[in-house]
Every structure is written in structure tokens, then in C-alpha cells.
Amino acid sequence: MKHLLTATLLFLTATCVFARPDLSNGRRGPTPYDPYCAPVDAVMRHLDGPAPSFQTVSALVREGYSFRYVFDAPYLAQTPQQTEARHSGDCKAKSLWLASRMNDANVRYVIGKARRTSKISHAWLMWKAQGRWWILDPTNVPTPIPADSVGPDDYIVHYSYDRTGSFCHNTGRTGRTVAGRG
């Protein structure tokens, strides 16, 4: 019985350690979203400020979370200035506004699935601070989420953008890169 409990704990620990959203498996290259992401590219390429404090980022996530959710078609991330002025936007707009306000080169703008079973794509930020990655999702959650605390079916990274360009990520248990909108 003791060995079964130990084996179960080891399995659960390994599952949690390897379940976090993985940004290391990305390959540089174009994504299907690139034609729609001119505002993302414009913001991400200019992030160069000093790393903000965790307290500052937490306050910004709460502020973005308070913005009204509004989805505008067609798929286009509005500028951070538009999001700020309107105090509203969709997940792309809120996340881009947050990245702009943080002005930290250690942030990634991510497109993927909030849950593996989601029918639509979602955008959020991944931020490296305090020696770990954090999920910043101002659309769904008012506080930073430790990336190593999410399960294997949450926050599935398909594409990410940083100041150097765009990346496609291996996103599934099948080992293939998912292309297109989800």
C-alpha cells in the first residue's frame, strides 16, 4: 500500500510538472494569425522596459479583467490605445493592452485554447518572473496563475509572439502542430 501511494504521488507530481504550458517547443515561423496581428507585432517588437514588479503586474491584470468583454469581427487585435480608451475588448485586445502596459521583454503573447475542449481560440500572456512562468489572462482570471499549476488540458499553447517574432508550438498529444483557427 505504501508503495502504491508513493508511486501515485510521483505520477501526480510528474504530471503537474510536465503539464504546464510549454513555450520551449516552439519553432520560429509564420502562423495562420500573422495576417491579423499587425498590432501584436507592433507592440511586441518594442517591449524594452525594466521588468515590472509582481504587484504592478497583478494590478494591471485586475484592471484588464475589469474591462468589458466585446468581440469585434473580423479577427483583429485592436491597439492598446483603443482598448484603454474604450475600457473594453476581446481576449486579444485585453492581452495586448496588458503587454503594452507591462513593457517587459520577458512576456509572450499567446494564442491557443483555454481548455483543450474549447471550440474557439483564446489569447493570453505568458510572463517569466520570479524564476517561473505565469499565465496572465485578463479576460478570464483577475490574478496571475502559476503556469506549473495548470493541468494538461488547460492553457494549450498553439502560437506565441515575443519581441523577436512568432512561433508555432507542438500542442497535442499526437505530436503535431495544430494549424488554423480552433
Does residue 20 carry a pLDDT above 50?
no
Residues 142-153: tens digit of each pLDDT:
999 999 999 999
Mean pLDDT over 82-102 rounds to 96
Residues 107-153: tens digit of each pLDDT:
999 999 999 999 999 999 999 999 999 999 999 999 999 999 999 99
C-beta of residue 107 within 8 angstroms of C-beta of residue 162: yes
User: Cell numbers 520560429 label which residue?
Assistant: 28
User: Cell numbers 489572462 label which residue?
Assistant: 137
Residue ranges with strand state E in 29-177: 68-69, 88-89, 107-115, 122-129, 132-136, 145-146, 154-162, 165-169
Domains and CATH numbers, the chain: 20-169 (3.10.620.30)
Per-residue cell: 3: 508503495
Q: How many CB atoms lie within 10 A of CB 75?
A: 14
Question: Rounded distance, CA 80 to CA 32, Å?
Answer: 22
